[in-house]
Chain A
Amino acid sequence: MTGLAAIGAGIAVLGAALGIGKIGSSAMDAMARQPEAASKIQTGMIISAALIEGAALFGIVVALLQG
């Protein structure tokens, strides 16, 4: 059932998008509160985004192997 693999990949991407969206929004809030710390916050945001994307790609790899 290759259709299920595609749905699984879609759900994994959904989770990643929600997570990265939350990070982005709280990063923006923090940067607005304290503009001097903006570059540190940006670095942390990029790192967290890459880690979340890694987790989502686990799901995509499993979906690719399946379907």
Chain B
Amino acid sequence: MLNTTLKALVWMIVLLLSAPVFSNSPEEGENVDVTEMIMHHIKDAHEWHILSYPGENDVKQHVSVPLPIILIDNGIQVFSSKRLYHEKEAIEIVTIDGGKDHYVANEELGYGMFHEKIYKLNAAGLLDFDSEGNVTNEKPYDFSITKNVFTLFFSALVLFLLLKAAVKSYKSDGLHPPRGIARFIEPIVIFVRDDIAKANIGETKYKKFMPYLLTAFFFIWINNMLGLIPIFPGGANLTGNISFTLTLAVLTMLVTVFSGNKNYWIHIFKTPGVPIALLPIMIPIELIGIITKPFALMIRLFANITAGHIIILSLTGIIFTFGSAAWSGLSIPMSLFLLILKLLVAFLQAFIFTMLSALFIGQAVAEEH
């Protein structure tokens, strides 16, 4: 039989993991659109919504962290997202396929928001929709601190503090076994150095690229893990945001291209062993290959993490689709199993990204053989 501590731990995890269930409680008899809830949780948002509950007079009360909205529109405008979300009533519209939708508009500020995108209001204080249901108003440049940007700063801060604390114990003489948090960090750093950097880049040249590989590994891992925590400050789907993975992939591409030595470029423009007649075909293919490899990195990370989030949210949404709490007996254990699997996926995707980056860098700096 499991001993008591283990049983208590399992129960705690099960109860904790039912938190996502409560973060979106509907009123009695209201039909919850599970698809919309899932999409809302995956996408970025201008405020951090923690929970809603039916307050007095049946009005839904929201508990959320309002994030600043920063717009560049002939000068910088900064205001709290509370002014867009909660000051005025939402304006109802009918979409082209007959469904109901809504947007918020604030005439004093002159901006309105539809599906988390900010537009400038027209003279009547409304948004214009064209025949396909898209908004045709002008958009100011949106540099807001959204959920994902906040998570980015937060995880960068956490990472910085963690690694700074780990480095401190090496400062004095470094000739002792690691103390404190370094005891957790050092095996991971050595793992990245030996199994990823040295194995792919080679003994002599790996040192230059270690900072980038370590950063990519820890940053992706921490952001994946933060995405699994259901409550503030975790739970924003940063690694599932394709702009984020695009940036990481572009960085890998830049590091690869700018550290390519002569052999690398000869390999691209004059692949050895290929007859001259085939070169006009090979060169474009190789050039496109420089781009497709980081592209695959981007899609892999984005799709893995987003798919995991969608699955977890769908399983939690089973309870709402059937409308009775009895289905939680099926949904909670399955969610638990998948969340544990996602812990593995979080580490694995960080490892794969770093390993493939090291592989591409190794190809770029390889010596002739």
**Is the CB–CB distance between B299 and A54 below 8 Å?**
yes
CB <8 Å contact, A46 and B348: yes
Q: Which of B287-311 contact A (CB under 8 A)?
A: 296, 299-300, 302-304, 307
Report chain B residues within 8 Å CB of A60.
Answer: 303, 307
Q: Which 8 A-B pairs have the closest CB atoms?
A: A57-B303, A54-B300, A50-B352, A61-B303, A58-B299, A54-B296, A50-B348, A60-B303
A11 CA / B195 CA spacing, docked (Å): 34
A53-B304, A57-B299, A60-B307 known; 4 new pairs, CB 8 Å cut-off, are: A47-B355, A53-B300, A54-B299, A61-B303
> Mask for A28-54, Cβ within 8 A of B = 1, else 0?
000000000000000100110011011
Residues of B within 8 A of A (CB): 195, 296, 299-300, 302-304, 307, 348-349, 352, 355
- Taking the nearest CB of chain A, how far is it from the CB of B204, in angstroms? 23
B255 to chain A, nearest CB (A): 20
Q: Which of A51, A54, A58, A60 has its CB near the most chain B CB atoms (within 10 A)?
A: A54
- Give Cα distance in the complex from A43 to B195, angstroms: 10
Q: Which residues of A approach B to under 8 Å, CB–CB?
A: 43, 46-47, 50-51, 53-54, 57-58, 60-61
Q: In the bound complex, do residue A47 and residue B352 qualify as a contact, i.e. CB atoms below 8 Å apart?
A: yes
Q: How far is the CA of A51 from the CA of B304 in the complex (A)?
A: 11
Q: B300 to chain A: which residues have CB within 8 Å?
A: 50, 53-54, 57
How far apart sit A54 and B303, CA to CA, in the bound complex (Å)? 8
Complexed CA–CA distance, A53 and B300 (Å): 8
Interface of A is mostly: helix
Assembled-state Cα–Cα distance A46/B351 (Å): 10
| Closest Cβ–Cβ distance, residue B342 to chain A (whole Å) | 13
Q: In the complex, what's the smallest C-beta–C-beta distance from A59 to chain B, in angstroms?
A: 9
A50 to B354, CA, bound (A): 13
| Cα distance, A19 to B25, chains bound together (Å) | 41
Please give, as numbers and ranges, the residues of chain B lying within 8 Å of A61 by CB-CB distance.
Answer: 299, 302-303
* B352 neighbours in A (Cβ, 8 Å): 47, 50-51, 54
Q: Kindly state the separation between the CA atoms of A58 and B195 in the bound complex, as whole angstroms.
A: 27
In Å, the complex CA distance between A54 and B298 comes to 10
- A8 to B300 Cα, complex, angstroms: 18
For A57, the chain B residues whose CB sits under 8 A away are: 299-300, 303-304, 307
* Contact residue among B303, B349, B355 (Cβ-Cβ distance under 8 Å from A58): B303
Return chain B residues, CB-CB under 8 Å to A50.
300, 348-349, 352
Instruction: Please report the C-alpha to C-alpha distance between residue A57 and residue B245 in the assembled complex, in whole angstroms.
Output: 15
**Alpha-carbon distance between A51 and B356 when the two chains are bound, in angstroms:** 10
User: What's the Cα separation between A6 and B307 when bound, in Å?
Assistant: 14
For residue A58, which residues in chain B have a CB less than 8 angstroms away from its CB? 296, 299, 303
A–B pairs, 23, beta carbons within 8 Å: A43-B195, A47-B352, A47-B355, A50-B300, A50-B348, A50-B349, A50-B352, A51-B352, A54-B296, A54-B299, A54-B300, A54-B303, A54-B304, A54-B352, A57-B299, A57-B300, A57-B304, A58-B299, A58-B303, A60-B303, A60-B307, A61-B299, A61-B302
- CB proximity of A60 to chain B, nearest CB, Å: 6
| Residues in chain B near residue A51, CB distance under 8 A | 352
Complex alpha-carbon distance, A57 and B352, angstroms: 15
In whole angstroms, what is the CA distance A61 to B352 when docked? 19
Closest to A46 in B: B348
B359 to chain A minimum Cβ distance, whole angstroms, is 10
CB closest chain-B residue, reference A54? B300
Closest to B300 in A: A54
- Closest beta carbon of chain A to B116's beta carbon, Å: 18
- Compute how far the CA of A43 lies from the CA of B304 in the bound complex, rounded to whole angstroms: 19
Bound Cα distance from A54 to B349, whole angstroms: 10
